[in-house]
Chain A
Amino acid sequence: MTALLEVRDIVKHYDGIAAVSGATLDVEKGSITGLIGPNGAGKTTLFNIVSGFQRPEQGLVSFGGARIDHQSADRVARAGLVRTFQETKALTKMTVLDNMMLAAPHPGERLTSLVLRPRRVRQREREVEAKAREMLGVVQLEDHADQYAGTLSGGQRKLLEFGRALMVEPKMVLLDEPMAGVNPTLGLELLDLVRKLRDSRGTTFLLIEHNLEVVMGVCELIHVMNEGAVIASGPPAAVRSNPQVIDAYLGTRGASVAPISGEAAP
Chain B
Amino acid sequence: MSLDFWSLVGAVSGIYAIFALGLQLQFGYTGLPNFGHVASMAVGAYTMAILVVREEVPLWGASLIAIAAGVAFGALLSLPTLRLRAEYFAIATIAISEIVRYVALNEQSLTGGPIGTSNLLGPTQVAEYNGEWASFQASVQAWLNDVVGQQVGSDFTMLVIVWVVVLVCLLVLTPMTHSPWGRVLRAIREDEEATAALGKRVGWYKLQSLAIGSGFGAIAGLLYAFEFQFFSPDDFDPLITFYAWLIVLIAGAARMWAVPIGALIFGLIFSGTRFFDFKPFTYLDAAQLSYVRLMIIGAFLIALMAWRPQGLLGNRDAMVLE
Which residues of A pack against B, CB within 8 Å? 51, 53, 72-75, 77-78, 82-83, 85, 89-94, 98, 101-103, 105-106, 108-111, 114, 121, 125, 148-151, 164-165, 168
Contact = CB atoms under 8 A, between A and B. Distances in A.
Contact of B187 (A51, A94, A110, A151): A94
Interface string B67-84: 000000000000000000
A255 B195 CA distance: 41
Contact of B201 (A74, A89, A92): A74
Given A74-B200, A114-B179, A150-B321, 5 more contacts: A82-B197, A85-B194, A91-B195, A94-B186, A103-B198
A159 to B, nearest CB: 15
B321 A85 contact: no
Contacts of B94: none
Contacts of B179: 108, 114, 121
Contacts of A109: 180-181, 183-184, 200
6 contacts: A82-B197, A101-B183, A102-B184, A102-B195, A121-B179, A149-B321
Q: SS class of chain A's interface: helix, strand, loop or mixed?
A: helix
Contact of B190 (A83, A93, A151, A165): A93
A89 B322 contact: no
Given A108-B181, A111-B181, A92 B321 contact: yes
A168 B183 contact: no
Given A92-B190, A94-B190, A151-B321, A125 B197 contact: no
A51 B193 CA distance: 11
Contacts, number: 97
Contacts of A108: 179-181
Given A111-B176, A114-B179, A148-B317, A92 B322 contact: yes
Smallest CB-CB A-B distances: 3 pairs: A150-B321, A108-B180, A77-B199
B181 A73 contact: no
Contacts of A75: 199
Interface of B: 175-176, 179-181, 183-184, 186-187, 190-191, 193-202, 208, 317-319, 321-322
A110 B175 CA distance: 13
A231 to B, nearest CB: 28
B321 A93 contact: yes
B132 to A, nearest CB: 29
Interface of B is mostly: helix
B198 A77 contact: yes
A108 B321 CA distance: 28
B181 A89 contact: no
Contacts of B176: 111, 114
A205 to B, nearest CB: 16
Contacts of A73: 193, 196-197
Contact of A91 (B194, B196, B202, B319): B194
A103 B180 CA distance: 10
A82 B133 CA distance: 54
Given A73-B193, A77-B197, A78-B199, A91 B187 contact: yes
A77 B322 contact: no
B198 A168 contact: yes
A94 B317 CA distance: 11
A121 B181 CA distance: 11
A102 B317 CA distance: 21
A51 B199 contact: no
A89 B317 contact: no
Contacts of A51: 197
B192 to A, nearest CB: 10
Contacts of A125: 180
A91 B181 contact: no
Nearest to B317: A148
A151 B169 CA distance: 34
A89 B191 contact: yes
Which of A108, A149, A151, A164 gathers the greatest number of chain B CB atoms within 10 Å? A108
Nearest to A152: B321
A235 B284 CA distance: 85
Contacts of B191: 89, 91
Given A74-B201, A82-B197, A91 B190 contact: yes
Contacts of A94: 183, 186-187, 190
Nearest to A107: B180
Contacts of B200: 74, 102, 109
A148 B65 CA distance: 42
Contacts of B183: 94, 98, 101-102, 109
Contacts of B321: 92-93, 148-151
Contacts of B202: 74
A72 B184 CA distance: 17
